[in-house]
Amino acid sequence: MSVSAIREAWQESTKRQRRGKLALREELQFYLFISPWLVGFILFTAGPILASLVLSMTDWSVLKKPDFVGLANYVTMFTSDPYFFKVLGNTIYYAGLSVPLGIVLAFMISVLLNQKLVGITLFRTFFYLPSLVTGVAVAVLWAWLLNPQFGLINHGLRLLGIEGPEWLYNTKTAMPAMIVMSLWGIGGTMLTYLAGLQGIPEHLYEAAEIDGAGAVSKFFNVTIPLMTPVIFFNLIVAIIGSFQTFTQFYVMTNGGPANATLVYVLYLYRNAFEYFKMGYASALAWVLFFLILALTVVQFYLAPRWVYYEGDLARR
Amino acid sequence: MQSVTSARASLGQRSERAHWRQSIRVQRMITTILSYFFLTAGSIIFLIPLIWMISTSLRPEREVYKYPPKILPDYFLWKNYIKGWNILPFTTFLKNTLIITLSNVTGNLISCSLVAFGFARLRARGSNVLFMLLLSTMMLPYEVTMIPQFILFTQILKWGNTFRPLILPAWLGWNFGIFLLRQFFMTIPFELDDAAKIDGASTFRMYWQIMLPLSKPALATIAIFAFMGNWNNFLAPLIYLRDMSKYTLALGLRMFQGQYAVHNQHYLMAVSVATLLPILIMFFLAQKQFVQGIALTGIKG
């Protein structure tokens, strides 16, 4: 009796050992498989984050040795940099208009495109196609469209008897022009809405109809509440993207006229790669990061007030 | 007596119902007409810039700067494409862009799938923490790591003005791609792993012969977005590439715009259209993956 018990215990322990060995092997394999990312993370993310933090507390122009200056860069930014608040204001102006306008416009178009109509696939392609034109190509195209003398937009206005403004050459119209351009590329946002709209179960609309809801009531009481998670997602992505906008501004206006379109990342780029103020540029990067983080956190904090998740029992 | 009133009542009801039905029909027709109106008007507004780009690219110079303009030129001057292409060495730019883009797509596919497999299929202490770390890097703006990376690549490794700083990171994973693939791998039943294990397959074979073939749609999505992102990338090449012989198409286009645009809009538009062609072709060939990928991830290229 006792012998068999011992044997059992012994077998159990070897089994556990074997399992332990297997688990260890699996663990090793795990680290082997993720090693590309792990190396990349250490070299290109974690390391640079630490380096950037240190750099942001130095005065460094690449050629000289860095001087440690503590928080002086951050103090300069908020007290004596003549451009910082201008740049921040420009970025908020751009984000504050392009994001909500883009979100609403893309939503309205996606509702139109969600109908069962003949040729609807073709219309979807038409609205999506412009968003494939990105980067420098969209900048080059819109600089041409906005050309005060020969651009299509002012040609069109002339047909209506209006002499169009100088768009990118006027401090008042440059930023609005950039915002309008950003709306041209909302195709991607539109597609995420469309996918969301197609995921709304038909029976909810039927139930609403039985309760006597008309089209308008169905839209506001079924469509919009069920779409709030998608709207929320797009809002977060759009805000982050709009604060990081660079290419179009660099190519089309390079910050002009009179710094009216000098946006955050463009200013950061100039500090780093034109004035070689690596320390100051790093500090700018950290402030940008915390701005984005703060905006995102605030949105997650506000989300429970308006974002509706199906199956969210806590709300009832 | 009773039957008469009930008949009258039912008659009234019927006419009311018919009336109701008709009003619904009218309403629906109005909705359809309005929808087509807005869809057509919107499509025209969205497409006109594209049409204008293409039509400018095919005009003779005197028609480019003429008022009133015509939407379509009298005849198509295809020569503009060849002339514009040769004002700057765009063939070199194309070659450089292809080297970087194709290498990065390959690198992304290999590294992302390996890492995603690890996260989705292998148990290890610390894997959850590492995955959270990976997710949190998706929040980090490129600008924060850009400057130290620049110093690492140009000052320490002396890789300035080479493609290496643009290529190497892609072979070490891409957080969005890893996340997407990991989510996809999670949907593949674990029974397959067990069966493979019983048959004596190694972990690598499970990855190579079971996971990858089953994940073609997700891999296609990643390839498409990696292609778009690298093809259009501007900031990183701008920082690292100095000589014109190393320029990518995006840098070349920007140089063209900066130096020759004033009297050469037709050539500039021709070159722009040419640089967009691969993306447009890809879109029409892989429309399904495209649309699904965007709907799934919210990445917009």
Same domain, B264 and B122: yes
Q: Specify whether A232 is located in the same domain as A105.
A: yes
Average pLDDT for chain A: 90
Angle, in degrees to the nearest 10, between helices A135-145 and A174-184: 120
Query: Looking at residue A314, what is its pLDDT?
Result: 46
> What residue type is A114 in one-letter code?
N
> Measured between CB atoms, which of B39, B140, B173 is closest to A112?
B39
Burial annotation B106-139 (CB, 10 A radius, 16+ → b, else e): ebbbebbbbbbbbbbbbebeebeebbebbeebee
Q: How far apart are CA B279 and CA B296, in angstroms?
A: 20
d(CA B20, CA B26): 10
Min CA distance, B4 vs chain A (Å)? 31
Q: Identify the CATH number of the domain in which residue B284 sits.
A: 1.10.3720.10
Domain that holds residue B293: 83-297
Q: Is B67 within a domain? A: no
Interface contact A136-B257, CB threshold 8 A: yes
| Cβ–Cβ gap A150/B265 under 8 Å | yes
Most B-contacting residue of A140, A237, A250 (CB-CB within 10 A), to test interface: A140
**Predicted pLDDT at B109:** 97
Instruction: Give the phi and the psi of residue A277 in degrees, each rounded to 5.
Output: -90, 80
For chain A, what percent of residues have pLDDT higher than 90? 71
Number of Cβ within 10 Å of residue B269's Cβ equals 26
Under 8 Å between Cβ of B15 and B31:
no
Residues of B within 8 A of A57 (CB-CB) are none
B77 falls within a domain: no
Contact A129 B48 (CB under 8 A): no
Give the residue on B whose Cα is nearest the Cα of A281: B147
Q: Which chain B residue shows the shortest CA-CA distance from A139?
A: B254
pLDDT of A42: 95
Q: Are residues A57 and A148 in the same domain?
A: no
Of the three residues A19, A39, A74, the one that is the final residue of a domain is A74
The answer to whether the CB atoms of A29 and B203 lie below 8 A apart is: yes
Answer whether residue A312 shows pLDDT above 80: no
Among candidate residues B133, B131, B134, the one with its CA nearest the CA of residue B122: B131
Question: How does residue A1 score in pLDDT terms, banded at 50, 70 and 90?
Answer: very low
Separation between Cα atoms, residue A269 and residue A314, nearest integer Å: 46
B162 and B246 inside one domain: yes
Is residue B153 domain-shared with residue B283, that is, in the same domain? Answer: yes
Tens digit of each residue's pLDDT (9 = 90 or more) over A74-100: 999 999 999 999 999 999 999 999 999
Model pLDDT, residue A65 = 83
Contact B283 A132 (CB under 8 A): yes
User: What's the pLDDT score for residue B37?
Assistant: 96
Among A74, A90, A119, where does a domain finish?
A: A74
A191-248 per-position pLDDT tens digit: 989 988 988 888 999 999 899 888 889 999 999 999 998 999 899 989 999 999 999 9
Contact A277, A67 (CB under 8 A): no
Based on DSSP, count helices (H) and strands (E) in chain A, helices before strands. 16, 2
Write the burial class of residue A159 (CB in 10 Å: 0-12 exposed, 13-18 middle, 19+ buried): exposed
pLDDT of residue B178: 95
Q: At B147, which amino acid appears?
A: I
A33:B115 CB<8 A: yes
Tokens of B217: 């749609």
Alpha carbons B156 and B154: distance in angstroms, whole number: 6
Which pair of tokens denotes residue A13? 């322990």
Domain co-membership, B143 together with B17 = no
Chain A residues near residue B144 by CB distance under 8 angstroms: 48-49, 52, 285-286, 288-289
Q: What's the CA gap between B76 and A41, in Å, rounded?
A: 51
Residues A213 and A236 in one domain: yes
In a domain, B25, yes or no: yes
Report chain A residues whose CB lies below 8 A from the CB of B280: 132
A31: contact with B, CB 8 A cutoff? yes
Give yes or no for A274 touching B (CB within 8 A). no
Residue B50 counted as domain residue: yes
Nearest C-alpha in A relative to B177: A37
Number of domains in chain B: 2
Structural domain of A238: 82-315
Domain boundary among B57, B72, B92: B57
User: Looking at chain B, how many residues does it have?
Assistant: 301
B247 and B282 part of one domain = yes
Residues B31 and B100 in one domain: no
Burial of A279 (C-beta count, 10 Å sphere; 0-12/13-18/19+)? buried
Residue A31 pLDDT more than 50?
Answer: yes
Which chain B residues are within 8 Å of A43, Cβ to Cβ?
152, 172
In sequence order, the 6+-apart residues with CB closer than 8 A to the CB of A208 are: A217, A218, A221, A222
**How does residue A62 score in pLDDT terms, banded at 50, 70 and 90?**
confident
| A215 and A263 both lie in a single domain | yes
Quick check: B235 and A269 CB within 8 A? yes
Closest chain A residue to B249 measured between Cα atoms?
A136
Please answer yes or no on whether A37 and B172 come within 8 Å at the CB atom: yes
Q: Is residue B63 part of a domain?
A: no
CB–CB contact B52 A282 (8 Å): no
In a domain, B73, yes or no: no
- Do residue B38 and residue B164 come from a single domain? no
Is it the case that residue A316 has pLDDT exceeding 50?
no
Which residues 39-68 on chain A approach chain B with CB closer than 8 angstroms? 39-41, 43-45, 47-49, 51-52, 55, 62
Contact B174, B226 (CB under 8 A): yes
Residues B31 and B178 in one domain: no
Shared-domain flag, residues B97 and B187: yes
- Residue ranges, chain B, pLDDT below 50: 1, 301
Residue B8 inside a domain? The answer is: no
pLDDT tens-digit map of A122-159: 999 999 999 999 899 999 999 999 999 889 999 999 98
pLDDT average, residue stretch A166-177 = 95
- B290 assigned to some structural domain: yes
If one counts the domains in chain A, the total is 2
Q: Which of these, A98, A254, A126, A15, lies nearest to B38 by C-alpha position?
A: A126
Same domain for B30 and B141: no
- Minimal CA separation from B173 to chain A, in Å: 5
CB contact set of B119 (below 8 Å; sequence gap of 6+): A34, B127, B130, B131, B134, B178, B182
Instruction: Show which of A14, A45, A74 is a domain's final residue.
Output: A74
pLDDT value, residue B62:
83
Please check whether residues B89 and B51 belong to one and the same domain. Answer: no
Question: Which CATH number fits the domain that encloses residue A234?
Answer: 1.10.3720.10
Co-location of A292 and A145 in the same domain: yes
Which tens digits make up the pLDDT trace of A261-308?
A: 999 999 999 999 999 999 999 999 999 999 999 999 999 999 888 888
Helix (H) or strand (E) holding A59: strand A58-59
- Check residue B298 and report its DSSP letter: -
Q: Give the whole-angstrom CA distance, residue A153 versus residue A140.
A: 15
Quote the pTM value: 0.88
**Does one domain contain both B46 and B134?**
no
Please indicate whether, in this complex, the C-beta atoms of B52 and A145 are within 8 angstroms of each other.
Answer: yes
